[in-house]
Chain A
Amino acid sequence: MMGRRLLGGYAILAYIFLYAPIAVVVVFAFNGGRDVLYWQGFSTKWFEEALKTPEITNALKLSILIALGNALVACVLGTMLALALPRMRPWVRTPIDALAYMTLVTPEIVFAIAALVFFVQAGSRLGIESPLGWHTILIAHVVFNASVVALVVRARFVSMGQQLEEASFDLGAGPLSTFRQVTLPRLAPAILAGGLLAFTFSFDDFITSFFVTGIESETLPIYIWGQLRFGVTPAINATAAMMLAFTLVTVVIAYLVLRRSGQERESATLPGV
């Protein structure tokens, strides 16, 4: 059929559109020249350069630490929420659901400035000298990442059915041992996938981090943002390429973990929110 071929050709173009910009950043990171737009032969020297720049390595370390801490806290909060929600009475569940979705859809700039005002005002009321720093970034990131984890874990928890949990409770096990012996083994892949996604969400976040950070805490996206004022350089491309690689690997692992564990097709897709 003609329509089908036409659409197939269009799909190829659409995928080129989706990936060309990412490819451009990566390819030009290997440009030996100083000027981004004039190709002067293949070289990895900008990667070496980037890894020798203390600002970049420090920012990378901070980004990873925040993303890790964020993923851990988000996993605990998100999983607990996901376990509690499905069987709640609708009048309790609906507002909590709404709240969780709100954290994902509110324009980020609004949340970022709200968090900034909140941390500064609460800090001055509590007598904290300089309340902003890595910890405020972490706290703010957990807000939307707990929702991300809850979304992933809950989809799996609901689709796998809860007869085993009911049996466990019936036989007298408490929530903790039921969780350890019955739920966790089956839910671990979803929790891990949610955690990995929360990690990349935090690792890549710019707006929230930018507004709630102190003077000394610079994450990698904040560093890149600052450098872009001077235009794109091969060193920035190299830094960005490393960030992309890092995120891509994490997302693909998350996907594989989810796919291997989920018999149901629906749980094999990542949530888009």
Chain B
Amino acid sequence: MADTKAEATEHRRGETRAGAGGPRYPGWLATPAVAWYLVFFLAPLAFIAVTSFGEVVGFSDVSYTWTLDNYRYLWDDFFGDFHLYRDIFLETFKLSVIGTLSTLVIGFPLAYYIARYAKHKTLLLLLVIVPFWTSFLIRAYAWLIILDPEFPVFRALGMSGFVESHELLFTPKAVYIGVAYNYLPLMVLPLYAALERIDWSLVEAAQDLGDPPWRAFRRITLPLALPGVLVGSLLVFIPLMGEYIIPVILGGNKTFYAGNLIAQQFLESRDWPLGSALAMVVIGALTIALLVYARVLGRQEQQG
């Protein structure tokens, strides 16, 4: 059953099983790219895996001693009384979850509008994509200007005092705003891709047969949009677990997440083994999240 399904998908995408079609471009063409991935992507990841078992000698040199000290240190922190690192990881998880949910809440109605009602779908979609391709750094720092109580729009509206009393800039609030802003396109794209395929006459039929709009939405639109929701959530959640730029720029000294923690070990503390161990924890957490996600997806597919 699963086999025929995979085959059908392959055929739909114009890809046939090896040997089934005629002559083709040779597989060795993949070699340079794969070699590049192996040497400059997988090998570096393996390097930090090994480095996480090392220790610092001198100023910043690494000695590969196969010690478990870094992990023991993190374990003691996570499950001990001090839990400095644990709190940072929990905050990071919170940031990723809230960031994902807020882009979903902001992005869904937009994707829905484009997919169902908009006349110039391609243009409107392009307008969502363009900000994504511009500099992440610049889009983050733009909020330094906008969230400042002295921002001219606030002054003109006489709201400077109001904004000041709410202290946005250099607090976690500013980080959450920046995250919702910077990651929004990554959520809207897969949402749109899923919504665009929906046959809206189904929804209309349900309503004609007496379903109130919200129920038609819940019973038809939402299940069909779910794959888009899941993909979009992944695309936002995964990079957020390592978010580095936005907290530094908008959060001031008061905010610190896993990405900043890792960077600190390399930029200031010069403790590469601990930094590598922290990166491994992020990778581990993401792997667990992906496995959970795959199970949810599998269950959903069984039901559908």
Contact = CB atoms under 8 A, between A and B. Distances in A.
Given A3-B213, A116-B266, A251-B133, A102 B117 contact: no
B118 interface: yes
Contact of A244 (B21, B117, B138, B259): B138
Interface residues of B, number: 97
Interface in B150-173: 150-152
A146 B136 CA distance: 20
Given A89-B17, A90-B6, A117-B51, 8 more contacts: A11-B118, A81-B33, A100-B37, A113-B276, A117-B47, A158-B13, A204-B137, A270-B129
A105 B238 contact: yes
Contacts of B135: 204, 206, 221, 240, 243-244, 247
Interface string B44-70: 110110010000000000100000000
A184 interface: no
B141 A272 contact: no
Q: Which label, helix, strand, loop or mixed, suits the secondary structure of the B interface?
A: helix
Interface of B: 6, 13-18, 21-34, 36-37, 40-45, 47-48, 51, 62, 106-107, 109-110, 112-114, 117-118, 122, 124-139, 141-146, 148, 150-152, 181, 184-186, 189-190, 213, 234-235, 238-239, 241-245, 249, 259, 262-263, 266, 272, 275-276, 279, 282-283, 286
Contacts of B181: 17, 21
A8 interface: yes
Contacts of B213: 3
Contact of B137 (A121, A165, A221, A231): A221
A206 B110 contact: no
Interface residues of A, number: 99
A190 to B, nearest CB: 14
A27 to B, nearest CB: 10
B152 A84 contact: no
A95 B16 CA distance: 17
A92 interface: yes
A143 interface: yes
Given A22-B131, A80-B33, A225-B137, A268 B122 contact: yes
A166 B22 contact: yes
Nearest to B127: A15
A185 to B, nearest CB: 16
